[in-house]
């Protein structure tokens, strides 16, 4: 799984960090998403999928190929 | 009853999420999406921000790429006009009857209007993409705008119009902007933010009339007898649940579509998003939340209920608004009798977070340009103040 983030779309909601704290963080100054792991390990995949689903700005895309 | 056909009425954030959740949970029967709008599902928060400002093309708001849309029959541009709960059929405006085993009601809300003036050119409401593009077109050709209603929608529009270089007046009968949502303290800060950016903030006075010259609006009359010249007027005075089509359904429509804590409105009928109220199992109160995050979360919850895997819906509501360089974020509840206390930062410095306390508990957390810290404080909600 590859994680793609769109910092331009992100509204800094932090919902992704709540869902998958090992994969996402937020910049201190404006809360915009920061990707900690582009290729998260399999045990985190379900959390990452949940993060992508609930992100209110649709700023997270997953390449599951 | 076997679930072979799910009908979703309202093809936007909550409805689309519900349909996707059904598929994800393994449902492989038919899904029919019924939408009043001609467009494929798009996101509304950017309408009063990037789309109005012209920094995003409309296409950017698409909720999904067309090739990634959930597998369903899409009936767009065909509003539902009636529901027969006993016969499990939805009637469309064109008379077609569509049977269902499971129904998701996700019709959102429609803007409330003033009792006068909406037939005049230059007078707008803002809910849909078409609304946003029409408002932008008028703003581009004007030098002044009056925004009636200083909730978040009016306040965001005022900010964008200022940044487009227009003279902006923000009018509201309440003493400060966004006061209904977050109280007087934050309301005062929002008023100052707009005043500092050059908006004329006319709070504490209502609108008594819209004045036209021919069919074009030219002024807004206020209750104190004054009159504001206006080339463009945005009326942003709240919204009503879009339940007109359910009037004869027998469903309880006290506060939108009234649901239980599993988002059920009737046998085989669930509701989600702006249109739905439900009893929050932990707070014990009936809520109807008109926020983007809730549309997603409740859409998922309602879908699970239809599949018999429902759980009581107990979210921590989340809301944000962007005005100028300020991002306000709010987790939880902000009841009228709760009291905000600044716990990080300083309002005078332009970034802080406040907890809202009620009966000795933290009920809400509000951040003002402090996203990361605010998110961390979310864990305090429900705990002792
Ligand atoms: C301009 C704007 C800015 C916003 N900004 C923010 C923000 O910054 N932060 C935030 O948290 N929230 C924001 N919101 C709120 C957020 O967009 C809503 O909470 C969200 O769109 C709700 O989704 P929904 O699917 O429940 O309803 P909607 O998105 O309203 O979708 C309902 C759909 O149902 C359709 N429909 C209605 N009646 C019928 C019928 N009879 N038959 C068929 N279809 C029907 C409608 O046409 C519509 O497409 C904003 C809203 C607007 C309008
Ligand atoms: S959930 Fe989405 S909007 Fe929120 S911080 Fe993460 S990527 Fe950004």
Over residues B172-200, the pLDDT tens digits come to 999 999 999 999 999 999 999 999 999 99
Sequence ranges of chain B with CATH classification 3.30.390.30: 325-380
Taking a C-beta distance cutoff of 8 angstroms, is the pair A14, B371 a contact?
A: yes
> Of A19, A3, A15, nearest to A57 (Cα)?
A15
What digits encode the pLDDT tens for the residues B122-157? 999 999 999 999 999 999 999 999 999 999 999 999
CA A21 vs. chain centroid, Å, equals: 9
Q: Whose CA is nearest to atom 27 of ligand 1?
A: B108
Average pLDDT over residues B305-309: 97
Residues with pLDDT less than 70, chain A? none
Taking phi over 0 as left and psi of -120 to 50 as alpha, with beta for the rest, B183 belongs to left
Q: Which domain holds residue A31?
A: 2-63
Q: Please list every residue in chain B whose beta carbon sits closer than 8 Å to the beta carbon of residue A52.
A: none
Tokens of B353: 């977070």
What percent of chain B is predicted at pLDDT more than 70?
100
- Name the band, by pLDDT with cuts 50, 70 and 90, for residue B255: very high
Is B371 within 8 Å of A14 when comparing Cβ atoms? yes
Write out the two tokens for B336: 């009228």
- B5-110+240-306, which class in CATH? alpha beta
In a mutational test of the A interface, the residue from B16, B69, B274, B372 whose CB has the highest number of chain A CBs within 10 Å is: B372
Is CATH 3.50.50.60 what the domain over B113-237 is classified as, yes or no?
A: yes
Q: Which of B63, B371, B378 sits opposite A26 (nearest CB)?
A: B371
- Separation of alpha carbons A5 and A24, rounded Å: 10
Per-residue pLDDT of A12-29, as tens digits, reads 989 999 999 999 999 988
B1: confidence class by pLDDT, cuts 50, 70, 90: low
Query: What is the CATH number for A52?
Result: 3.30.70.20
Residue among B42, B58, B274 whose CB has most ligand 1 atoms within 8 A, to mutate:
B274
Q: Which of A17, A54, A57 sits opposite B297 (nearest CB)?
A: A54
Q: Provide mean pLDDT across the span B40-68.
A: 95
Q: What is the CATH number of domain B325-380?
A: 3.30.390.30
Distance (Å) from CA A33 to ligand 2 centroid: 6
Q: What is the mean pLDDT of chain B?
A: 97
Question: SS3 for A9?
Answer: coil
Contact predicate B251/B257, CB 8 Å: yes
Which residues share a beta bridge with B200? B169
E strand or H helix at B82, and its extent? strand B80-84
Domains contained in chain A, number: 1
Q: Two tokens at B153? A: 């929608």
- Residue B56 neighbours by CB under 8 Å, 6+ apart: B46, B50
Reported pTM: 0.96
Beta strand B89-92 pairing with B216-222: unpaired
Ligand 1 site residues (CB inside 6 A) read: B 9-15, 34-37, 44-45, 47-48, 79-80, 106-109, 126-127, 153, 242, 245, 273-275, 290-293, 295, 319-321
């Amino acid at each position: 799984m590859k994680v793609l983030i769109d910092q331009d779309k992100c509204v800094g909601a932090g919902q992704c960090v709540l869902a998958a704290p090992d994969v996402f963080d937020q910049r201190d100054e404006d809360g915009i998403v920061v990707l900690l792991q582009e290729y998260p390990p399999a045990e985190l995949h379900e959390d990452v999928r949940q993060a992508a689903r609930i992100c209110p700005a649709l700023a997270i895309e997953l390449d599951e190929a | 009853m076997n679930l072979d056909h799910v009908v979703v009425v309202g093809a936007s954030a909550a409805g689309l999420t519900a349909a996707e959740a059904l598929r994800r949970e393994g449902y492989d029967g038919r899904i029919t999406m019924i939408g009043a709008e001609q467009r494929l599902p798009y996101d509304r928060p950017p309408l009063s921000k990037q789309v109005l400002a012209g920094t995003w093309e409309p296409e950017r708001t698409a909720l999904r790429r067309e090739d990634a849309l959930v597998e369903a029959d899409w009936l767009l541009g065909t509003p539902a006009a009636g529901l027969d709960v006993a016969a499990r059929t939805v009637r469309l405006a064109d008379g077609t009857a569509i049977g269902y085993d499971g129904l998701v009601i996700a019709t959102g809300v429609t803007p409330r209007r003033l009792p006068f003036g909406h037939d005049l050119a230059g007078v707008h409401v803002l809910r849909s993409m078409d609304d946003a593009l029409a408002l932008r077109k008028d703003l581009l050709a004007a030098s002044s705008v009056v925004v009636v209603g200083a909730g978040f929608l009016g306040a965001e529009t005022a900010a964008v119009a200022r940044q487009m270089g227009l003279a902006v007046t923000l009018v509201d009968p309440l003493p400060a902007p966004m006061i209904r949502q977050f109280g007087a303290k934050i309301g005062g800060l929002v008023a100052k933010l707009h005043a500092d950016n050059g908006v004329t903030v006319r709070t504490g006075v209502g609108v008594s009339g819209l004045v036209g010259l021919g069919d074009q609006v030219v002024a807004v009359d206020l209750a104190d007898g004054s009159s504001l010249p206006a080339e463009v007027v945005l009326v942003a005075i709240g919204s009503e649940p879009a339940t007109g089509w359910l009037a004869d359904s027998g469903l309880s429509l006290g506060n939108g579509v009234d649901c239980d804590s599993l988002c059920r409105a009737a046998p085989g009928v669930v509701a989600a998003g702006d249109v739905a109220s439900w009893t929050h199992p932990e707070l014990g109160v009936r809520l109807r939340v008109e926020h983007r995050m809730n549309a997603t979360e409740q859409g998922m919850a309602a879908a699970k209920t239809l599949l018999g895997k429902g759980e009581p819906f107990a979210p921590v509501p989340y809301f944000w608004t962007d005005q100028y360089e300020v991002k306000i974020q709010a987790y939880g509840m902000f009841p009228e009798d709760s009291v905000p206390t600044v716990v990080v930062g300083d309002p005078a410095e332009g970034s802080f977070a406040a907890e809202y306390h009620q009966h000795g508990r933290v009920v809400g957390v509000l951040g003002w340009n402090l996203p990361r810290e605010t998110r961390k404080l979310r864990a305090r909600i429900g705990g002792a103040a």
